[in-house]
């Protein structure tokens, strides 16, 4: 549910030599980290995401630059503007997400609770909405 999706304020060790942030699975985020992937060299105006997951949990961090994440659980929608590398957006299962408005040089890092599995995806919005509404009945 969209209420479970929230910005997580990650630890930040400020230092005149440069700041440091870390993420520990099952401590700062509610899942063990099985996979890390990142989007980069995203051309201006491009959109990524546009899918939902049945089981997967994720944390999305703007490692560099900025972008918008639009969430939709079939009942409500929320948009987050990501631009700080010490904030992560936690996304629970059964959330449709779209990512756009990438700044030049933006890097979007995703920590995921499971290995890549195409069977866990909803790629069709109408099917996602149907199942999301059924699940919350
Ligand atoms: P896609 O889900 O369309 O990317 P995004 O949601 O970020 O816009 O994935 C693009 C391709 O990359 C698709 O063929 C699946 C593949 N892929 C993997 O092989 N492993 C992964 O961990 C991810 C996230 C994608």
Domain of residue 19 covers 2-135
Q: Over the chain, what is the mean pLDDT?
A: 97
With left for phi above 0 and alpha for psi between -120 and 50, is residue 55 left, alpha or beta? alpha
Residue 135 has what pLDDT?
Answer: 80
pLDDT digit string, tens, across residues 37-61 = 999 999 999 999 999 999 999 999 9
Q: How many domains does the chain have?
A: 1
pLDDT band at residue 29, thresholds of 50, 70 and 90?
A: very high
Q: Is 51 a catalytic residue?
A: yes
pLDDT digit string, tens, across residues 54-90 = 999 999 999 999 999 999 999 999 999 999 999 999 9
CA of residue 38 to ligand 1 center, whole Å: 10
CATH number for position 63: 2.60.120.10
Residue 16 has what pLDDT?
Answer: 97
CA of residue 119 to ligand 1 center, whole Å: 12
Residue 113 has what pLDDT?
Answer: 98
């Amino acid at each position: 549910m969209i209420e479970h999706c929230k910005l997580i304020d990650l630890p930040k060790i400020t230092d005149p030599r440069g700041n440091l942030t870390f993420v520990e699975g099952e401590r700062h985020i509610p899942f063990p980290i099985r996979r890390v992937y990142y989007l980069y060299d995203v051309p201006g105006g491009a959109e990524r995401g546009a899918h939902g997951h049945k089981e997967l949990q994720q944390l999305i961090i703007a490692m560099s630059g900025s972008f918008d994440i639009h969430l939709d659980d079939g009942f409500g929608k929320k948009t987050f503007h990501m631009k700080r590398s010490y904030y992560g957006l936690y996304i629970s299962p059964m959330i449709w997400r779209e990512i756009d408005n990438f700044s030049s040089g933006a890097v979007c890092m995703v920590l995921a609770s499971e290995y890549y599995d195409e069977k866990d995806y909803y790629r069709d919005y109408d099917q996602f909405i149907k199942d999301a509404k059924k699940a919350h009945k």
